[in-house]
Structure 1
């Protein structure tokens, strides 16, 4: 058998169920899928509330959407391939850490974009996407700005005498909006306590710090912001 005959048979087998007339439609859907996933990533960076690095997480949207589109474009032409996909997914486990429900929501939106474009429902996908981002935009505009701020507060005695935890809590409660003890470690020479505190403004934080320093001059005080990164 000649090589040209083998090559022709190989090409025909690979293009079985696929028409050359579908190539422009596939390219159009591919470009639309990439554009929509990019826009969704930008909306997530701008309007997301996740504490993680949203810019890094949003970079996965385009690849995920295009991968989903390609898989749907392949399996929709063959029942055997679709059954094989079910079997393949049953043994594949994705162990990426989803820290917040919002991240899972945006991942579902990304997959939905790939599904719609891969199934050939590009126009419907565009209309649904416009509705999604409109809802996200209005929800972000309607949300009230954060007036108060939550901080992680860590206190330790350093080189000074061991302070009394009850007195520290009383000072915090008298100067801050809310105080919640998260952890405390105590030895013969060291006391370290971690709190989640709520403050109204910077002046309130300074008032609390001065009150602690006045009672325990050698006290070490550190703060960590828990609000979202902009």
Structure 2
């Protein structure tokens, strides 16, 4: 049985593979991935419409673009390494839950940009990222205008329910009663899902001045309701 010595390992073609990699091309690919990742970072920050902005998640988009580019440049010169890398990446799982579908879009965008930079299609990655950024800015800003809100009203007198319904229907484009709660001590709570421009939200002041209303709260509603 043939044994492998340390000298055999030393005389392998590792150094040849290292010299076959163009340092300049690698630097250009990584710098391009960084710049496109920075562009994704700015677009995400500008279009973010959630409750809590995560700076670390945004930074990870830049790193993901660069890391993907680095992986692609490493496996592009070796078929066996590429197969092993695919097998290794197949066991990777995201442990952090991603609630906003737009976050998945940005993750996929960063990976694709890094992949294109890694194989040398830098111009395609740049043009595609610019177009995607423009589309996101246009449509996400439009979505903010039509964003639904939750209107939570706490009151004591059931006789004002018709008045509340009249005020809400008069000042919003669309409203839906999500829930009605009856609590001890003759306390009631209504939760409406409403759609109204931010400039027309002054009606909540009118609701709060009604006799018998304890509080009226308007909060942004991203589709995940939690009591």
Is it true that 1:15 corresponds to 2:15 in the alignment?
yes
8 A contact 1:186–1:192 mirrored in 2: yes
Counterparts of 2:90 and 2:137 in 1: how far apart (Å)? 37
Q: CA 1:104–1:50 in 2, change beyond 3 Å: closer, same or farther? A: farther
Counterparts of 1:192 and 1:27 in 2: how far apart (Å)? 61
Compute the RMSD of aligned alpha carbons.
3.4
Residue 184 (structure 1) aligns with: 180
What's the offset of the Cα at 1:195?
Answer: 1.6
Q: CA 1:55–1:117 in 2, change beyond 3 Å: closer, same or farther? A: same
Unpaired stretches in structure 2, ≥5 consecutive residues: 223-227
Corresponding residue pairs, total: 214
Residue 193 (structure 1) aligns with: 190
Where in structure 2 are the equivalents of 1:135-214 lying within 5 Å?
136-137=133-134, 140=137, 150-157=148-155, 161-163=156-158, 166-167=161-162, 168-189=164-185, 190-200=187-197, 202=199, 204-211=200-207, 213-214=209-210
8 A contact 1:43–1:133 mirrored in 2: no
After TM superposition, the score normalised by the length of structure 1 is 0.73
Q: CA 1:187–1:141 in 2, change beyond 3 Å: closer, same or farther? A: closer
Counterparts of 2:31 and 2:146 in 1: how far apart (Å)? 43
Counterparts of 1:165 and 1:85 in 2: how far apart (Å)? 66
Residue 225 (structure 2) aligns with: none
Unpaired stretches in structure 1, ≥5 consecutive residues: none
Counterparts of 2:143 and 2:88 in 1: how far apart (Å)? 46
Counterparts of 1:76 and 1:178 in 2: how far apart (Å)? 54
Q: CA 1:43–1:192 in 2, change beyond 3 Å: closer, same or farther? A: same
Counterparts of 1:74 and 1:128 in 2: how far apart (Å)? 19
